[in-house]
Structure 1
Amino acid sequence: MRKLRYLPLLLALALLFSCGGHRNQSDAKGKSNADVDSASLIAARYAKGFNVRYGDDITLLDINDPENKEAEQFHFALVDKEYKGDIPEGYTRLNIPIETAICMTSLQLSNFLKLGIPEKVVGITSTRHLHNEKMNQQLKDGKTHKIGIEGNFDNEVIMAINPDVIFISPFKRGGYDAIRNVDIPMIPHLGYKELSPLGQAEWIKVIGLLTGNASLANSTFDGIESRYNGLKSKVDTVKNRPTVFSGEMRGGNWYAVGGKSFLAQLFRDAGGDYFLKDNNESGGVTLDYETVYTNAAHADYWRIVNSFDGNYSYNVLKEQDNRYTDFDAWKNQGVIYCNMKEVPFYESMPVEPEIVLADFIHVFHPEVLPDHKPKYYHILK
């Protein structure tokens, strides 16, 4: 194997020698990676969970837990199917571009939908809250199959589909040991572990790299990034920063997310303050009612996401738990609501953080975006 060259050098060479017109990475078959133009070179700017290094005939993809550098890491050597050379020690060979895949989560699916390649998804775990017309049609036509639920996968269906790869969330309790013997490469997709909205959205580049759509993934993310940062700049210097809390009581506990989560970052970027902003956790947190009330009784807004049948209202909240009426956000009708039955929350929200950001800015600072039409979140009437 030829000596690996690092990305900065490749970028400089590509910019120096390219002369008009971009080609997709999948169009570079038979050529060395050094011949791929700069538009197809994948590099993470916000995501902490993946890294890409290019060599002459091989691309190395390293995946790690964005929250825990000590956790298990995953290493893949991406090559053309005709590649006969050596694979670095500790790396798993993966022939690209992949043509078929199973997605275990809607976040993974969102990347394929955003790139306009739903036909490559031949298996999914659940169709609950699935709004995408093409995916629903593929399921109806038998081109995409349900493979069971996490912890209870249907191995016979998976083997019959025989996809090129299965995308997994390895640090969730997904029962993946049960499908390791199907001998299909399992690729971790850790976008859900990223601590920033742009970091989560940037995982579209991994899917672009693996499917031969690197240029499209780069340009798509560039647009997301530009729109997001443009919106963020509009409220960077606002003096009034309303406070927002999140979650609901379930089974005697209040479920929210920590102060280092991507949701908390979204609130900050939208010119608001999260009620747990001093909390150092990045995942879900379980609180008792008293703790939430102490910190959020006088918060301006309350963010709720659920899948409610019928007309969700302040009276419904009161009926669910009369203590909700003690919060200023209930009294002043400051509930920010998203009904997953009505909007494609999980299948598109991860790759549209700029739209989610605009929804929150429209609530927190309506004078900044007075004409914005909410897509995911709106003030509950």
Structure 2
Amino acid sequence: MRQLLYLLAFSVTLLGCTGKDEDSKIDPSDYADVELKYAEFFRLKQKGNDFLLELLDPDTKDVVQSLEISEKKNERVICLTATLTGMFCELNQRNYLIGVTAENQLHDQKLKQRFRKGKVKEYGDFAQLSLERVADAQPNVILYNYVNTDFPHKEKLEKLGVKLLIVNDWLEAHPLAKAEWIKVIGAMTGQFEEACNLFSAIESRYNATAEKVKNMNEKPTVISGNLIGGSWYAPSGENYFGILMKDAGGNYRYKDTKGGKSLALPIEKILEDNQETQIWLNPGVSKWNQLLQLNPHAELLPASEDAIYCYSAKTNLFWEESAFHADYMLADLAHIFHPEMDPNYSFRYYSPVRK
């Protein structure tokens, strides 16, 4: 009975929201295409100050979801992905957020203050999402990353006008494609021009760093990832991190591997292929003793203590910001690979894994 009362109250509140039936009446030809330079898994169309967001299937590139975004509509967003949460913060539009995954995953101090004041709530992983709590919060939109699990209470929430948007920014291959998703958040918050300007600045800094290291004579050999279970998981050469290592002037051992997904390699192959590897990135820990506990084979790799780097000491900042600040990511990696560029460089995310 209590759940029914929540749903009845929620349905009255959301009568003015765009529901599933209304989406079928949207005519995309009424909108002009917004130019996207890198992103492949969404499209934006604009009509005055209003937008039409189309989310695309990663395999077929067909439109699978759409959202009308009106400047007259105050979106109330539950954001269950750290990367997009960071974009709201970067655009100083925290007031749109009414829910996140977990407080202990937040880095942004102003968003933490809103959490402590009760303006932002914690909802946990979407698979355990409470229908009553969501109904009580009255969101317009829930943003989440796709996994092979149905969204709980999906049909009930959609009937009530809540848009459940699958965000595939994490599947984008190019680092600047991930960054370009900030245009989506800019459109949702009335900050589209600011988002475009921010993206242009990120792109400019990224390309400037890539150009600077392009003709470096020395390109250190690099391995990334670590042993999880019985396999070593590392990015493919066409994965966004594989592209980052290349653009930062590194010689990644598996740069010629295809596809955007991670490689799962046996430890024997890792040891065989990397006896002369100079730098090890992203082992998943910040201390040497933790690394040995996670991977007893660590001492068999030749990368020295001063040449193993990870973001684990700044995990929340990394996940909240690095996806759209590809410029900062590239700068960190470039200075790891080529410290002579600036001996006094201050790393944004990375630090050495030391004893």
TM-score tier after normalising by the smaller chain length: 0.7 to 0.9
Out of 37, 41, 46, which is 2:38 matched to?
46
5 Å-filtered alignment, 1:276-291, equals: 276-291=254-269
Q: 1:346 to 1:149 in 2, by over 3 A?
A: same
SS of 2:255's equivalent?
coil
For residues 265 and 4 of structure 1, do their structure 2 counterparts lie closer, same or farther at Cα, with a shift above 3 Å needed?
A: same
The answer as to whether partners of 1:2 and 1:55 remain within 8 angstroms in 2 is no
Who is 2:140 aligned against?
Answer: 164
Query: Matched residues in 1 for 2:67 and 2:282: separation?
Result: 42
Contact 1:358 1:369 in 2 (8 A): no
Distance verdict in 2 for CA 1:332–1:212, change over 3 Å: closer
Distance 2:260 2:315 in 1: 28
Partner of 1:92: none
Number of the residue aligned with 1:173: 148
Of 202, 211, 222 in structure 1, the residue corresponding to residue 189 of structure 2 is 211
CA contact (8 A) 1:166 1:186 kept: yes
How far does the alpha carbon of each residue in 1:25-72 deviate from its partner, in whole angstroms, 9 at most, with x for none? xxxxxxxxxxxxxxxxx4211111122233579643322145x2x266
Q: Which residue of 1 aligns with 2:223?
A: 245
Q: 2: CA distance between counterparts of 1:357 and 1:96?
A: 38
Q: Provide structure 2 residue ranges, at least 5 long, that are not aligned to the other structure.
A: 1-26
**Equivalent-residue separation in structure 2 for 1:320 and 1:154 (angstroms):** 34
Residues 57, 105 of structure 1: CA spacing in aligned structure 2 closer, same or farther, 3 A cutoff? closer
In the other structure, the counterpart of 2:119 is 143
Summarize the Cα distance change of 1:343–1:145 in structure 2 as closer, same or farther, 3 Å threshold: closer
Instruction: Deviation per CA, 1:161-203: give whole Å up to 9, x if none.
Output: 1111111223x23541433412301223221111111110110
* Cross-structure match for 2:329: 356
In structure 2, distance between residues paired with 1:291 and 1:56 = 56
1:102 aligns with 2:45: no
Q: Deviations over 1:299-352 (max 9, x none)?
A: 1111125356xxx12x443354332111111x4642012225566111111122
Of residues 296, 299, 320, the one that matches 1:347 is 320
* Alpha-carbon displacement from aligned partner over 1:211-260 (angstroms, at most 9, x marks no partner): 21101111111111111111111011223211211111122222222221
Query: Retained in 1: the 8 A contact 2:285–2:310?
Result: no
- Tell me the residue number matched to 2:93: 117
1:71-86 equivalence runs, <5 A: 73-76=63-66, 78=68, 80=70
Deviation per CA, 1:87-108: give whole Å up to 9, x if none: xxxxxxxx86543101111012
Quick one: distance in 2 between partners of 1:362 and 1:139? 36
Question: Any conservation in 1 of the 2:31–2:52 contact (CA below 8 Å)?
Answer: no
| Cα distance change, pair 123–335 in 1 and its aligned pair in 2 (3 A) | same
| Alpha-carbon distance change, 270 to 289 in structure 1, aligned in 2, over 3 angstroms | same
- State how far apart, in whole Å, the 1-side matches of 2:290 and 2:65 are: 49
Spell out the pairing of 1:1-381 with structure 2 (5 A cutoff): 4=30, 6-7=32-33, 42-55=34-47, 59-66=51-58, 68=59, 70=60, 73-76=63-66, 78=68, 80=70, 97-170=73-146, 172-183=147-158, 184-304=162-282, 306=284, 312-313=287-288, 315-329=289-303, 331=304, 333-340=306-313, 344-381=317-354
- Contact 2:144/2:165 (<8 A) preserved: yes
User: Does structure 1 retain, via aligned residues, the 8 Å contact 2:93–2:189?
Assistant: no
Question: Is the 1:130–1:347 Cα contact (8 Å) retained in structure 2?
Answer: yes
Give the Cα–Cα distance (whole angstroms) in 2 for the partners of residues 187 and 319 of structure 1.
39
What is the TM-score normalised by the length of structure 2?
A: 0.83
Change (3 A) 1:237 1:97: farther
1:207 and 1:121 map into 2 onto residues whose CA distance is 11
* Higher helix proportion: 2
**TM-score of the pair, normalised by structure 1:** 0.78
Q: Residues of 2 paired with 1:2 and 1:287: CA distance?
A: 45
Counterpart of 2:19 in structure 1 is none
SS in structure 1 at match of 2:323: helix
CA drift of 1:137 comes to 1.8
Task: State the Cα distance separating 1:362 from its structure 2 match.
Answer: 0.8
Rounded to whole Å, the distance in 2 between the matches of 1:318 and 1:176 is 38
Change (3 A) 1:248 1:96: farther
Partners of 1:118 and 1:58 lie apart in 2 by 20
CA distance, structure 2, for counterparts of residue 272 and residue 289 of structure 1: 22
Are the counterparts in 1 of residues 180 and 199 from structure 2 also a CA contact under 8 Å? yes
User: How many Å separate the matches in 2 of 1:121 and 1:367?
Assistant: 42
